[in-house]
């Protein structure tokens, strides 16, 4: 089995910063793409940022220039640096990873439990 654990969420005032981390553990052979999604109350879940194993990145238009995604392949960890936070960034943030386990060559999608980010005065 594979587990993804997020950390770093919390409350921050508008204009502030937070850094989210997501560590994958278990019987991992390799991890392809990793990413961050978010879901606000009454809204659809949306992709925030994604990164491939070789470092290619994609960002939602709403966060370009403010958020930065990165990863440490040796630690099976992905990060999301969030700067200039706005109230509309308030949501539950979920980590996602496409994992090839030791026991199989099939790619399986895994999700973390989510971490709350609240931006308000």
pLDDT at 39: 98
Tens of pLDDT along 22-45?
999 999 999 999 999 999 999 999
Structure tokens at 103: 């026991």
Q: What is the mean pLDDT of residues 76-95?
A: 98
Beta strands (DSSP E) in 40-104 are 46-51, 57-59, 67-72, 77-82, 91-101
């Amino acid at each position: 089995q594979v587990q993804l654990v997020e950390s770093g969420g919390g409350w921050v005032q508008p204009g502030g910063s937070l850094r989210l981390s997501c560590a994958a553990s278990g019987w991992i052979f390799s991890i392809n793409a990793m990413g961050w999604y978010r879901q606000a109350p009454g809204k659809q879940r949306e992709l925030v940022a994604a990164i491939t194993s070789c470092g290619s990145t994609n960002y939602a238009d709403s966060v370009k220039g403010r958020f930065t995604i990165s990863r440490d392949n040796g630690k099976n960890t992905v990060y999301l640096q969030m700067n200039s936070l706005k109230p509309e960034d308030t949501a539950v943030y979920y980590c996602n990873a496409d994992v090839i386990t030791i026991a199989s060559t099939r790619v399986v999608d895994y999700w973390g439990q989510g971490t709350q980010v609240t931006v308000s005065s």
